[in-house]
Each structure stands twice: as C-alpha cells, then as structure tokens.
A and B are shown apart, each in its own frame.
Chain A
Amino acid sequence: DAGVIQSPRHEVTEMGQEVTLRCKPISGHNSLFWYRQTMMRGLELLIYFNNNVPIDDSGMPEDRFSAKMPNASFSTLKIQPSEPRDSAVYFCASAEGGSYNEQFFGPGTRLTVL
C-alpha cells in the first residue's frame, strides 16, 4: 500500500484565496484525521471522521475551515478565505478499526498564505 497520500505537498497562496487540501487514506481504514502543526501551537487535531461521518470537529478553528469525506477513499480540508495565520503544515492520518488503532500519517501539506 502507498500509505496515506496528501496533495499538494506544498501550497503557496495569497490572503483571501480559497485553499483545498486533499487526502487519500489507506485502503480499508475507516477513520480519518486532519491535524495542523505550527511551531507555536504544536500538533492540533482539527477534525476526525469515522466511516465517513464527522465525529468531532471541535478543533476546527473557525467557519472559514470546512472538511468533507464524500467516500471512504477521499477527504478534503478547505479554507475559505485563507489568512496568513493559517500558514502551517496540515497532516492527514488514517486508522483502521481495532484495539490499538495506530494512526498512519501522510507526509503533510505545507501551506503558506502570503
């Protein structure tokens, strides 16, 4: 398996633009997580899905952020409009059901908002 796939790997955009980050989880995994990592705040869980249903979105910073999981093999995280403070590395992770539930992380998308 190729692991968790994220695209793009790098994104540079201007303030006010819409940004869409994409994630393909590992086939067969039924949980998907979006994280944001910054130097100031560390690793923050934004939202997670179980069987394509959002379970906890309390980490989503504000209404400018939205996430969808239309099917088991694809998820998006959208920021509209983007702001410079959204600059971070965004990670997607997936996990299969089971007892110890290791989360497998993607390589991340480095977002820079100018």
Chain B
Amino acid sequence: GEDVEQSLFLSVREGDSSVINCTYTDSSSTYLYWYKQEPGAGLQLLTYIFSNMDMKQDQRLTVLLNKKDKHLSLRIADTQTGDSAIYFCAERDNYGQNFVFGPGTRLSVLP
C-alpha cells in the first residue's frame, strides 16, 4: 500500500533554515501537501505542490519535489520560535479523496 515516511525529530537554532524531508511510495500521487500542527490544535495546510512542479516558493517556505526519487522537502528560511510544531507530509492521488499522511516531524526551534 501507499506509505509516507518522515524523520520524527528536527532541532534548529532560531534564524537558521530548517529542512524537513519526506519520501512517499505512490507514483500516482498527484498532489503533495505540507500540514502544520501546533500544540493542542488540529492540522492546518501550509502549502501544497502539484506533481508536475518541482519547486514552489511561498514567502519563507520552499517546497522541492523530486518525482523520480519520490522525495519531497520543506525548507523554512529564518526559522522562528513560532515555527515549532509538528509538520506532516501527505500525498493524494488523482483518483480518490483519501490522503496518506506521514508520521510527522517535530520541529524544535532553539533560542
């Protein structure tokens, strides 16, 4: 079945860049998403990328997609303490409504 993998933890210093990585197995994935979950809250969509793109930039966020290697990354420039959260990678194919979420990467931003 489909599988999405992420490293579970990442620590960075405030002001540095964070790079969160994700790998997926479903080659038919059409959309790939990054969600953010702050403590005690639900998930919120940060950004998404369509599978025919290899990069998307939105302010401090840069998403890179390597479709050949089925690798997705999220780069957060100038990481702030408010960026501390769990970041989930998710994929969806073009056929169904179902999302497959990764286990989430807990980002800790150190002062």
Footprint of B on A, CB under 8 Å?
4, 31, 33, 42-43, 45, 48, 50, 55-56, 91, 93, 95, 100-108
Is chain B's interface secondary structure helix, strand, loop, or mixed overall? strand
| B48 / chain A contacts, CB cutoff of 8 Å | 100, 102
Closest Cβ–Cβ distance, residue B47 to chain A (whole Å): 10
Identify which of B43, B45, B99, B102 contacts A45 (C-beta below 8 A). Answer: B99
Q: Determine if B101 and A43 form an interchain contact, defined as CB atoms under 8 angstroms apart.
A: yes
Interface bin, chain B: 20 to 34
CA distance A100 to B31 in the complex (A): 7
Question: B97 within 8 Å of A by Cβ?
Answer: yes
| B104 / chain A contacts, CB cutoff of 8 Å | 42-43
Q: Determine if A56 and B98 form an interchain contact, defined as CB atoms under 8 angstroms apart.
A: yes
| A102 / chain B contacts, CB cutoff of 8 Å | 33, 45, 48
Additional A-B contacts beyond A56-B98, A101-B92 (8; CB < 8 A): A31-B97, A42-B101, A45-B100, A48-B97, A55-B96, A100-B50, A103-B45, A107-B41
| B31 / chain A contacts, CB cutoff of 8 Å | 100-101
Q: Determine if A105 and B43 form an interchain contact, defined as CB atoms under 8 angstroms apart.
A: yes
Question: B42 within 8 Å of A by Cβ?
Answer: yes
Q: Determine if A105 and B44 form an interchain contact, defined as CB atoms under 8 angstroms apart.
A: yes
- The residue in chain A whose Cβ has the minimal distance to the Cβ of B94 is A99
Is chain A's interface secondary structure helix, strand, loop, or mixed overall? strand
Q: Determine if A43 and B88 form an interchain contact, defined as CB atoms under 8 angstroms apart.
A: yes
Closest Cβ–Cβ distance, residue A40 to chain B (whole Å): 10
- The residue in chain B whose Cβ has the minimal distance to the Cβ of A103 is B99
Closest Cβ–Cβ distance, residue B48 to chain A (whole Å): 6
CA distance A70 to B111 in the complex (A): 49
| B42 / chain A contacts, CB cutoff of 8 Å | 4, 91, 93, 105-108
- The residue in chain B whose Cβ has the minimal distance to the Cβ of A59 is B98
| A101 / chain B contacts, CB cutoff of 8 Å | 31, 92, 97
| A56 / chain B contacts, CB cutoff of 8 Å | 98
- The residue in chain A whose Cβ has the minimal distance to the Cβ of B50 is A100
A–B pairs, 29, beta carbons within 8 Å: A4-B42, A42-B101, A42-B104, A43-B43, A43-B88, A43-B104, A45-B100, A50-B97, A55-B96, A55-B97, A55-B98, A56-B98, A91-B43, A95-B97, A101-B31, A101-B92, A102-B33, A102-B45, A102-B48, A103-B43, A103-B99, A104-B45, A105-B42, A105-B43, A105-B44, A106-B42, A107-B41, A107-B42, A108-B41
